């Protein structure tokens, strides 16, 4: 972090502006560049002053409203983090994809103000260091929902859209992708990456290049070798992959452990797979409570209903009520196509692009790209 963080404040209430000035006058960590009351001036000022962070009042009035300004900054490409100042009666969620990198609710102390500015700046810098790639972890709290097949086909569908994609086999003990893709036992895995300093050149010898065009970082070939993969190893690998690829997708097992939590923490989006099955729905509700306890914002989790045309006699509204919202994505059953493609180790989205399930997955890939803001990188 720089010695002094350069702050631009956008606030049209004189009393609040004066309060912020007073709090910042008594410290040296933050340099207040200016306090602006007119939101229409902010983009030009950001370009000229190059602040490290911008503080915007969500209730800003005038020609440019507060949250509209936040969205405008996010879409401008200026890459400056924004902290939204709000009140308890007007809650705002942290949502980096839509430009909200931090939230500060009034009333607040000078300590809280400085801490939030420093924290938001640090997180933004860490993000820049690990690259602009988006990371999606495909997760389910219960097995048998088609998660690995979906992760593979989604990765291929995203790669087909021009985004350089890497798929990680996060099932470290059993190597689900190794089995699905008929990968030889001697093929390299996560364990073959150096444990000290990982360079981009190391990836070429370790990644498995699938005929579909995506790269895959495989799990170890034997169960007992999974214990040799540490969370720190994963963090270093993910940091490098996010600088090289446009999209990183992780297929995870249906467990909650340190390794899975490392993947989930690092993810921009958790794609949770659910089916019309009462035990699956129950497990999904339990996991939603766990995510809330961890502190994940609701926007980090997106739900995908697999086999959406097979309700098993359950009312779809039951699932909506359990999740607290309608699932963002739906994929129909694939029947014989999925079985045949899996047995051959090929993606069904390429085996039969016209099939309904292939169209559903391709549409979902586009929706995820739009939601995460992933960019093409070749």
Q: What is the pLDDT of residues 83-115, one digit of tens each?
A: 999 999 999 988 887 889 999 999 999 999 999
* Burial grade of 224 (CB within 10 A; 0-12, 13-18, 19 or more): exposed
For residue 367, give every residue at least 6 positions away whose Cβ sits within 8 Å of its Cβ, in sequence order, or none: 328, 329
DSSP string, 43-75: HHHHHHH--SEEEEETT--SSS-HHHHHHHHHH
Q: Which residue has the tokens 């070939």?
A: 221
Structural domain boundaries in the chain: 5-129, 134-372
For residue 4, give every residue at least 6 positions away whose Cβ sits within 8 Å of its Cβ, in sequence order, or none: 28, 29, 30, 31
3-class state of residue 229 by DSSP:
coil
pLDDT of residue 127: 61
Judge: domain 5-129, CATH 3.40.50.2300. Answer: yes
Judge: domain 134-372, CATH 3.40.50.300. Answer: yes
Q: What is the pLDDT of residues 250-265, one digit of tens each?
A: 999 999 899 999 999 9
pLDDT of residue 140: 95
pLDDT of residue 205: 82
- CATH topology match: 5-129 vs 134-372: yes
Question: Using an 8 Å Cβ cutoff, are 353 and 327 in contact?
Answer: no
pLDDT of residue 227: 87
Regions of the chain where pLDDT drops below 70: 1-3, 126-132, 195-201, 374-378
pLDDT of residue 372: 84
pLDDT of residue 131: 54
Q: How many other C-beta atoms lie within 10 A of the C-beta of residue 88?
A: 8
Whether this model's pTM surpasses 0.75: no
pLDDT of residue 342: 95
């Amino acid at each position: 972090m720089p010695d002094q963080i350069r702050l631009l404040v956008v606030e049209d209430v004189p009393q609040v502006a004066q309060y912020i000035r007073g709090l910042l006058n008594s410290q040296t960590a933050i340099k207040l560049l200016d306090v602006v009351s007119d939101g229409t001036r902010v983009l030009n000022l950001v370009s000229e002053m190059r602040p490290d962070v911008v503080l915007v009042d969500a209730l800003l009035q005038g020609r440019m409203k507060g949250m509209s300004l936040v969205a405008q900054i996010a879409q401008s490409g200026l890459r400056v983090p924004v902290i939204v100042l709000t009140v308890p009666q007007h809650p705002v969620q942290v949502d980096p994809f839509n430009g909200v990198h931090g939230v500060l609710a009034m009333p607040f102390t000078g300590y809280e103000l400085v801490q939030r500015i420093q924290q938001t700046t640090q997180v933004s810098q860490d993000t820049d260091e690990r690259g602009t790639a988006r990371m999606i972890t495909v997760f389910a709290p219960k097995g048998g929902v088609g998660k690995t097949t979906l992760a593979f086909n989604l990765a291929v569908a995203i790669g087909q859209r021009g985004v350089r994609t890497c798929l990680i086999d996060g099932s470290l003990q059993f190597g689900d992708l190794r089995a699905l893709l008929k990968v030889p036992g001697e093929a390299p895995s996560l364990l073959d990456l150096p444990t000290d300093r990982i360079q981009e050149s190391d990836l070429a010898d370790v990644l498995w290049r699938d005929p579909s065009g995506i790269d895959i970082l495989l799990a170890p070939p034997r169960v007992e070798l999974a214990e040799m993969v540490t969370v720190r190893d994963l963090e270093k690998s993910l940091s490098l992959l996010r600088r090289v690829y446009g999209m990183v997708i992780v297929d995870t097992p249906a467990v909650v452990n340190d390794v899975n939590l490392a993947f989930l923490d690092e993810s921009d989006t958790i794609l949770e797979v659910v089916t019309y099955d009462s035990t699956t729905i129950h497990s999904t509700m339990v996991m939603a409570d766990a995510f809330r306890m961890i502190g994940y914002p609701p926007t980090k989790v997106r739900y995908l209903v697999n086999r959406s045309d097979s309700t098993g006699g359950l009312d779809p509204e039951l699932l909506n009520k359990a999740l607290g919202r309608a699932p963002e994505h739906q994929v129909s059953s694939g029947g014989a196509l999925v079985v045949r493609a899996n047995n051959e180790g090929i993606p069904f989205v390429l085996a039969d692009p016209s099939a309904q399930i292939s169209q559903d997955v391709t549409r979902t890939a586009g929706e995820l790209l739009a939601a995460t803001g992933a960019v093409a990188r070749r």
